[in-house]
Amino acid sequence: MNPIRYSVRLEPDLQTFEFSGNVEILMESPSPISEIVLNTLEIAYWRCQINIEEQFRECPFCVDPEKETLNIRLPKEMSGLLTVRIDFKGIINNKMAGFYRSQYVKDGNPRFIAVTQFEESDARRAFPCMDHPLKKAEFDIELIVDEGLSAISNTDIESEESLGHGKKRVRFRRTPRMSTYLVFFGVGEFEFKLDEIDARVRSAALPGLSEHTRFALDFGRKSLRFCENYYDIAYPLPKMDLIAVPDFAFGAMENWGAITFRENLLLRYPGITARSGEGRICEIIAHEIVHQWFGNLVSPSDWKYLWLNESFATYFAYHVVEHYQPDWEYWSHFLQGQTEGAFSRDALHNTIPIEIPGGQLMVINSGTAPIIYNKGGSLLRQIEGFIGAEQFRKGLYHYLKTHAYKCAESQDLWQAFEAVSSQNITAMVKSWIGQPGFPIITAKRDGNKLILTQSRFTHLPNDSAQTWMIPVIADVFAKDGSVRRISALMEDKTLTLDIGDAIVCKVNAGQFGFYRVRYDSFDAFGNLILSQKLSAQDRWGLQNDLYALVRSGEVSIGEYLQFLTNYKEEKAFLPLTSIAGNLYHAFLVTDERKKIADFGKSLIERVLEDIGYEPVETEAHTVSVLRDQLLWTAVLFGSEPAEKFASAKFRDMMRGESVHPDIMRSVMQTGALTGDDAVSDWFCKKLESSSSEYERMNILGAIACFRNKSQIERACQYVLDTVPDRNKFVPLTAMMSNPFAIPYMWDWYVSHIAELEKMHPLLYERIIGAVIPYCGIEHSEAVKAFFTSYIEKCPNMKDIVDLSLEKLEIHLRMRR
């Protein structure tokens, strides 16, 4: 049985937080059926009818809350085209799922908008439906709302009619065939702004905020143009709304034609939003617009294929930003943000394959996202490098054109690539998406040969016999200064490369492959790093692979620091941001803090002296982003010049003077770290008076940086009492990686767990994922015992608990 068309009519009430409605579903059953089963959750029904010979007849029905189904009994067995009509009533909840309310303040009074968030399976909270991506249908949406409110859905408005009594009916044009999780409707006091060049692109925000959407509109238009040109398939809807929502559990959601965002990821505030924030806004907008093709036009036939949506959106978001802003070096951001994130997650025993086998449900959470998004995007980069950019593009066109308005699975993508390429894509890619983990290649010199041997890489010991088909790219550096590139497909456990009398051979040249490399001598690359004859990507990869071996216990932190002396003249964003992050991680989890802090302080002070402490408008985007990270890290490592500069800037800020947005985050963090109770008061007042969600996020990050116990405890209580549920995780997770707060956070977590469990599950997972690996280091036995019994009570948290306990074990081994 398949749906053909839904006609949904809803009347939301923003005073009572309820809605009434009805839906007519035209469906087709090729064989006789006696019952129609739809998905439903938290909806009350009073009538279900079936159209028989142009008349609707009532049918008995029942709801199964456990299975989340509405079962409608038909008067007789029926087949062919069927139409059911259902009347119901539901709630506009506060769970940031389904049809929910989001609060804001206007003229000192609370106001609400109502919006939807349906992925993965929450459309059933708003209307009964076949709530699975495979069950595509057309949608006719009609909303009855107050005259003073605006209504938004996936398509543009077909008609608007006053009904009297302060109500109006808004009908939207019929959608293309689409999955239920992509349906959207919203009601509220939205303020709209059209892009001045492409009227299809429009923003929607709360009153007074539309001026801050100009930056987003500009990049939304550019992203749309890029996708239409690259995929060679026109965007099929008449409009694309970019909608800022105050309360939002995710970063953004790709509803077809009505994309929703957290406010700080859409609104740009002059003098407040840093250049790093602008980059993040562009990346998120591009990600969601890529989804209009990957996910919306072609949807996954089952949730196990969700990676077909998210991997492409992740990968092409960086393509789009790099295309329009090449000076931002966004592929460097990709390696550090996406590939490194995937490496860290996938190096655990408790990991998953990109494509879940069998009929298991794939749910996006803090454990699965780094695999589906980060690893998936990194593998697409590997595939493009393997078959070439032009063949990659042709394959994607073939895939999208063949499956438009339909659903697809992984095999469809491989067939599309093989239709335009001579390469055996299927065999290679199956080894990557069908099994968990990733390889490390051990490169061992034997005269004129380099012997490569692959094995699974994990931070804790494993006895896996897994192998992968690995596209190997290697640069051979000859004694005469020439460089020769070798490309080969490693199909077996070992591969031998002929490198002659080369000085050294850099495996995974350009860092296109999703694997690590272990050399018998990393030091052999020292001169190439110092002279910068290796690319920034390869300089990043060498030290990052070495630090992975530190985490697995093969290499000491002292050996890593010694290797980093080769980076004493480093200027590039990518290796420096990675080194700073690795040093901070080691500072948190090892017992060699002084050695790490002294080394890091010296290195970072040299970089800050070189680029300057004060931002310059004409400087590179990467310099601006790097400074903010390094300034705070230097302060934590005890740098007097960094602390003196940032503290002076914070005093300026407290006096009401402006501070450059590109250093505002690190200045606020330093102000909290060195501040007293008066500073705590200032942050609370600043948070409550701020009208910018971006600034509020900076403040929330800063209040996680207090040094003394009383301020830390006060901040924790303030977060629980005052901060909106959507943002509580921001300061709390940051406190759990604040070296001064860590000693207190385990006891605080245990004593406040009942309040924390009320958070959105996705956000509460982040708390668990932070408290165990870091706060558990000094309380390991208590933490392990506590969570062993905890997952019996809360089995839905088992995955995040298991992987977090494994991270804890890795950290404990780093101390031995």
8-state DSSP, 4: E
61-64/109-117 β-pairing: unpaired
CA angle 451–456–461, rounded 5-degree value: 115
Rounded Cα–Cα distance for residues 467 and 570 (Å): 35
Residues in contact with 647: Cβ distance below 8 Å, sequence separation at least 6, in sequence order: 670, 671, 674
Query: Residue 463 CB: number of other CB atoms within 10 A?
Result: 6
Inter-axis angle of helices 661-674 and 677-689, nearest 10? 140
Q: What is the largest CA-CA distance in the chain?
A: 89
Which strands sit side by side in the sheet containing 439-446, from one edge to the other? 494-498, 449-456, 439-446, 516-519
Best CA proximity match to 805, nearest among 793, 790, 438: 790
Rounded Cα–Cα distance for residues 24 and 34 (Å): 18
CA angle 349–352–358, rounded 5-degree value: 135
- Spatial contact of 638 and 597, defined as CB atoms under 8 Å apart: yes
Tell me the torsion sign for CA atoms 644, 646, 652, 654: negative
Q: Is 633 helix (H, G, I), strand (E, B) or coil?
A: helix
User: What DSSP assignment string belongs to 185-197?
Assistant: EEEE--EEEE-SS
Residues in contact with 432: Cβ distance below 8 Å, sequence separation at least 6, in sequence order: 354, 379, 382, 438, 468, 469, 514
Which helix (H) or strand (E) segment holds residue 801: the answer is: helix 798-815
User: What DSSP assignment string belongs to 11-74?
Assistant: EEETTTTEEEEEEEEEEEEEEEEEEEEEE-SSEEEEEEEEEETTEEEE--EEEETTTTEEEEEE
CB-based burial label for 62 (10 Å; 0-12, 13-18, 19+): exposed
Rounded Cα–Cα distance for residues 563 and 559 (Å): 6
**Token pair for residue 346?**
């996938």
Rounded Cα–Cα distance for residues 227 and 493 (Å): 39
In Å, how far are 55, 143, 666 from 650, measured between CA atoms?
Answer: 72, 49, 9
- Spatial contact of 184 and 255, defined as CB atoms under 8 Å apart: yes
Which strands sit side by side in the sheet containing 150-153, from one edge to the other? 98-106, 109-117, 185-188, 150-153
Rounded Cα–Cα distance for residues 271 and 251 (Å): 23
In Å, how far are 26, 59, 577, 595 from 283, measured between CA atoms?
Answer: 39, 49, 19, 37
The question of whether 355 is a catalytic residue gets the answer: no
**Token pair for residue 73?**
């009994």
Rounded Cα–Cα distance for residues 458 and 114 (Å): 45
Which residue among 254, 263, 288, 806 is the active-site one?
A: 288
Rounded Cα–Cα distance for residues 243 and 115 (Å): 10
- Spatial contact of 154 and 180, defined as CB atoms under 8 Å apart: no
Best CA proximity match to 76, nearest among 29, 8, 6, 24: 29
The alpha-helical segments, DSSP class H, found in 406-555 are: 410-420, 425-433, 526-530, 536-551
The strand pairing partners of 485, in sequence order, are 475
How many Å separate Cα 417 from the centre of its chain? 27
8-state DSSP, 166: T
Q: Tell me which residues are annotated as active site.
A: 288
